[in-house]
Amino acid sequence: MWEKESPVCLYSYADATTFTLPDSSVVTLFPNSTLSYLPDRFNKNKREVDMSGRISFDVRRNQYAPFIVSGEYAKIEVLGTQFEVNENNNGSVTEVHVLSGKVLFSSKNNKNGIVLTRNMQAVMPFGSDVPLIMVKNSDKDHADKSGKFIYENTPLSEVLKELSEHFHVKLTSVSTGKTLTAEFDTDNLDEIISMIEKSLDVKIRKEVTK
């Protein structure tokens, strides 16, 4: 009988340590952090790793093999991007900070999550099935940039009304009972619509008004 496959385990102790994974992705483990994976779960079809602590990821893009990071409570899925995950925040929340690309941030117990793009940061309380309690743009230099929209538990109907007025279109959705907590530092309406649809699992219709 074959023995069960042993995991590959990476550790950092007093200093941050950088490692290169089999797919050429690079991870930096900050002090007292760990990352592990099973070789049969890290191949040409999928790349799954488990982590604890605080780790910075520079993922090599591969559209055929999603890169999935699992912490104690949260899960992050990407194709190729740079981001950082921190579960060391006084044992209270999981933080995700995206430097480039896009990631899907969700609870391990909830398939619905929120899509984060460059310079966005999200936090989620430990033990919660709520995938997001706050999203903010972490680039302080863009605090006054035009096209910035901030929502905190805002009804989707109000969000669509504000976006409609700003972009001179008509946005509608049948799922207006949901609320949105997010911050968009972009003037690309299609990108905003896409992030809202994926985050809230809704469909939004856009009509051009005269």
* Residues 41-73 pLDDT 10s: 898 888 999 999 999 999 988 888 899 999 888
Q: Which residue has the higher pLDDT, 149 or 58?
A: 58
Predicted pLDDT of residue 142: 29
Predicted pLDDT of residue 2: 42
* Residues 82-102 pLDDT 10s: 898 988 656 677 888 888 888
What secondary structure does DSSP assign to the chain, as a single string?
A: -PPPPPPEEEE--SS-EEEE-TTS-EEEEPTT-EEEE-GGGBSSS-EEEEEESEEEEEPPP-TTS-EEEE-SSEEEEESS-EEEEEEEETTTEEEEEEEES-EEEEETT-S-EEEE-TTEEEEEETT-S-S-SEEEE--GGGTT-TTEEEEEEEEHHHHHHHHHHHHTEEEE-S-TT-EEEEEEE---HHHHHHHHHHHHT---EEEE--
Q: Taking the model in full, what pTM does it have?
A: 0.61
